[in-house]
Every structure is written in structure tokens, then in C-alpha cells.
């Protein structure tokens, strides 16, 4: 009974049903070639241009017989045809899956929600909380985010459950389609960030905890549902992602203050913060094909590494940038002056981080290409373990360090603190 229930949660048709309910429909554009010619290029009655790479020769023909070829998590329909009386072997061309949007409110809502679990969100939201809100909260956000994302990413490549097939599912994202699906790291990150923020602030600031709980639940649910809407995860992937994060938070919560005190005061922090994440990135589970999970995990660990070193250095020099006064703090009023100051800090900080990314990435790749005697134009070389991990770790650890150390010092220089 339980096994049957779990299998039903993995059914791609359940995901497709949710997409249809939200107004996202699958369309299949048939492109057929066949007829009474020995050359597939002289097909009669073909609908539109034929993509040569997608033509499959068939040994038998049956009008209207629809079959499927599977390529990773994409299931491509194709059809075999033979003209009546032709006597020749026909050709079947892959039908090109597309989609139709009938409800643009859900389309833009869930595309935006899906972006909340991607690099662009991490590289903006986490620094923003450090620059404009409270470094105390940011330290907990970065720590929990790194833990759940590392465990989620490695679990994908150990469990190796595929993403839902298309069709019947509409796939709106292609970059991560080579990854495995279980668990949903979007659901894990959204749950970890929203509820860590709630727990870290509920006794530190004066606000309605009920409102905070509602906001955290809605954010987590919205991002989780976006993974179904975009067709990237099954229902079971999403549920497991949320539950795993809840367990991890419950297990680690009693140690948050202990770990925070250790990372700020221990002389071993810089060594541990650099060596351990780099080792974890370099020993990431190997696959028989290239997947962006290793690179994405290296990015996450690199950011956490640089931030941790920055947190430690700021504490050593007495620059904690935390609010002063007695707990719980009052949430500052949102005035035009506060908003303009926050925007100025954010824009300056982001410019520094973008410049850091460009400079360190370029320099690290040049050094690694020269070390391993690789041509500079060889983009495939970036996927090699000995190049991908060092250059991404160096780039994003530099971003984390500059976000926590260099940018606040620049604020002081510009009198923006």
C-alpha cells in the first residue's frame, strides 16, 4: 500500500495534471518525412522543415502508430508511416514538444518563484541581509543554506532518480535537466532560508510571529510548487526536500549558537573554512556523465567558505556591524532615507561582487589552463574536475569574502554605514 502510494507521487502525469490546472499545456509539433522516395529529403506531405538529426529509419510501418524514444528525462514521441502502395520504408521524425500558456498569472508567478532558488537570488538576498539588515541573521542563513544544499545535491547523485519525463510533463528549464531529481534542492533551500530567517529573528526583533510563520510557509510553498509547474520535479521530490530540511533544522538548531561562537572566535576557523569545503567539492560523487550539480555545489560551498572567513576576520577586528541596544530590537521604520541608503549600499555592493566574479574567474581560469596545458578557447575543459572545482571555488569564495569584508569597508569609506 505504501509502496503504491509513493509510486503515485512519482507519476509524471500527476505533475502534468498540476501544470494543466495552472494553464500550462503540452503541445507536440509533428514533423514527418516519408513517402515513395529513397531519399528522406523528398518526403511528400511533410509538415514544415525536417530536422536531419531527428530522423529515424524504420523497418516496419503502421499508420498512426505512436511510439516514444527516451533521451534522459525527455521522452520524444515519434511516428512510423508508409504511403499506401509505396512499398518503401518510411521515416519517422521526432515530434518537437512545445507548450501553450493559458494563464499568464501563474506562469510569471511560478517562474519568479523558481528564480528564488537559483544563483541570482543567493548572490543578492544573502548579501542584502548582511549589508542592510543584520549580520547575526545572515550567518545563520549562510550556514543552514550551505548544509542543506550540499546534502541535497549529493543525495541527487547518490540516489539517481530521474526527473519527470517530457511528455507528458512540460519542461520549462533545460540547464539542470541533466541533473537527477530526488530531492528538490529548490524546496530545500526555500524551506531552509525562510524558516531559518524566522527562527533567527523571532526573539531578536519585535514583530508578529504568526505573520512571520505565514510568510515563511507561503514562500516555501510557492518555491516548492514552482518546481512542479516548471516540470523539473515530481511531487515526491518536493515533499522529500521539505521534510529533509525540516529534520536537518531540528537536529542542528540546538547547536546554532555553539557553532556561531566557534566560527567567530576559534583560530582554526580560516583553515577549516577553506580546506573542508574545498575537499568536499573535490570529492563530490562522480557520475558517468557531466552534470552541473558538482559545479553548483562548489559555488555554494565557496560562498560559504569566503563568508565564514569574512565573519571571523570582522569579529577579530571588532567590526561586527550588528545592531546595538537591548533585545528584542525594534524593526526600523521604512522611510525614503532608509530605502535610498539600502539601495545605494546594494548597488555598490553588487557592482563589487560582479567585478570580483569577473576578475577572479578570468585569472583563475588562465592559471589553471596554463597549469594543465589547455587551450584557452576550450570551453569543455571547464567541465574537468581539476579545473571546474578550483576556479569556481576561488571565484565564489572571493565573492563571499568581499561581500562580508571589503564591501562594508567601502561603505565606511563612503560614509554609508
Q: What does the alpha-carbon distance between residue 417 and residue 262 come to, in Å, rounded to a whole number? A: 27
Name the phi and psi angles at 135, rounded to 5: -60, -30
- Is 233 assigned a catalytic role? yes
3-state SS, residue 346: helix
- 100 pairs with which residues across the strands? 25
Catalytic residue among 13, 74, 233, 377: 233
Cell triple for 9:
507521487
Cell numbers that stand for 53 in this block: 538529426
Task: Please report where in the chains the cell 521604520 appears, as a residue.
Answer: 333
107 CB neighbour count, 10 Å cutoff: 17
- Give how far the C-alpha of residue 286 lies from the chain's centroid of Cα atoms, to the nearest Å: 19
Residues 6+ apart with CB under 8 A from 185: 117, 148, 149, 152, 153, 156, 241
Q: Is residue 289 flagged as an active site residue?
A: no
Classified as helix, coil or strand, 254 is: helix
B/e letters for 301-331, b = 16+ CB within 10 Å, e = fewer, are: bbbbbbbbbbbbbbbeeebebeeeeeeeeee
Q: Which of 74, 186, 289, 377 is catalytic?
A: 186
The conformation of residue 175, written as its DSSP 8-state character, comes to T
Q: How far apart are CA 174 and CA 155, in angstroms?
A: 21
Count Cβ atoms below 10 Å from residue 8 Cβ, excluding itself.
Answer: 13
Catalytic residues: 186, 233
Amino acid at each position: 500500500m505504501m509502496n503504491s502510494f509513493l509510486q503515485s507521487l512519482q507519476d509524471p502525469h500527476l505533475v502534468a495534471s498540476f501544470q494543466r490546472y495552472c494553464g500550462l499545456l503540452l503541445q507536440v509539433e509533428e514533423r514527418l518525412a516519408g513517402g515513395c522516395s529513397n531519399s528522406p529529403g523528398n518526403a511528400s506531405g511533410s509538415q514544415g522543415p525536417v530536422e536531419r538529426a531527428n530522423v529515424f529509419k524504420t523497418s516496419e510501418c503502421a499508420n498512426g502508430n505512436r511510439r516514444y524514444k527516451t533521451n534522459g528525462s525527455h521522452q520524444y514521441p515519434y511516428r512510423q508511416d508508409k504511403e499506401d502502395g509505396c512499398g518503401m520504408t518510411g521515416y519517422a521524425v521526432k515530434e518537437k514538444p512545445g507548450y501553450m500558456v493559458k494563464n499568464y498569472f501563474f506562469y510569471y508567478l511560478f517562474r519568479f518563484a523558481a528564480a528564488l532558488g537559483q544563483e541570482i537570488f543567493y548572490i543578492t538576498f544573502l548579501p542584502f541581509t548582511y549589508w542592510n539588515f543584520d549580520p547575526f541573521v545572515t550567518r545563520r542563513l549562510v550556514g543552514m543554506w550551505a548544509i542543506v544544499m550540499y546534502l541535497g545535491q549529493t543525495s541527487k547523485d547518490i540516489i539517481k532518480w530521474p526527473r519527470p519525463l517530457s511528455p507528458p510533463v512540460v519542461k520549462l528549464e533545460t540547464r539542470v535537466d541533466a541533473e537527477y531529481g530526488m530531492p528538490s534542492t529548490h524546496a530545500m533551500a526555500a524551506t531552509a532560508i525562510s524558516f531559518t530567517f524566522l527562527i533567527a529573528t523571532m526573539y531578536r526583533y519585535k514583530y508578529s510571529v504568526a505573520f512571520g510563520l505565514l510568510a515563511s510557509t507561503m514562500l516555501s510553498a510557492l518555491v516548492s510548487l514552482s518546481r512542479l509547474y516548471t516540470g523539473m520535479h515530481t511531487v515526491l521530490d518536493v515533499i522529500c526536500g521539505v521534510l529533509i530540511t525540516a529534520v536537518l533544522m531540528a537536529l542542528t538548531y540546538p547547536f546554532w549558537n555553539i557553532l556561531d561562537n566557534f566560527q567567530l572566535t576559534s583560530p582554526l576557523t580560516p583553515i577549516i573554512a577553506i580546506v573542508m569545503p574545498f575537499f568536499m567539492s573535490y570529492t563530490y560523487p562522480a557520475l558517468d556523465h557531466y552534470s552541473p550539480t558538482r559545479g553548483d555545489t562548489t559555488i555554494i560551498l565557496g560562498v560559504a567558505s569566503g563568508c565564514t572567513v569574512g565573519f571571523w576576520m570582522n569579529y577579530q577586528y571588532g567590526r561586527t556591524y550588528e545592531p546595538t541596544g537591548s533585545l528584542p530590537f525594534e524593526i526600523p521604520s521604512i522611510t525614503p532615507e532608509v530605502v535610498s541608503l539600502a539601495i545605494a549600499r546594494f548597488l555598490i555592493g553588487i557592482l563589487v561582487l560582479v567585478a570580483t566574479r569577473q576578475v577572479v574567474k578570468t585569472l583563475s581560469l588562465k592559471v589553471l589552463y596554463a597549469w594543465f596545458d589547455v587551450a584557452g578557447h576550450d570551453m569543455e575543459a571547464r567541465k574537468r574536475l581539476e579545473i571546474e572545482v578550483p576556479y569556481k571555488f576561488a571565484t565564489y569564495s572571493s565573492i563571499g569574502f568581499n561581500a562580508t569584508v571589503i564591501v562594508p569597508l567601502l561603505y565606511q569609506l563612503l560614509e554609508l554605514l
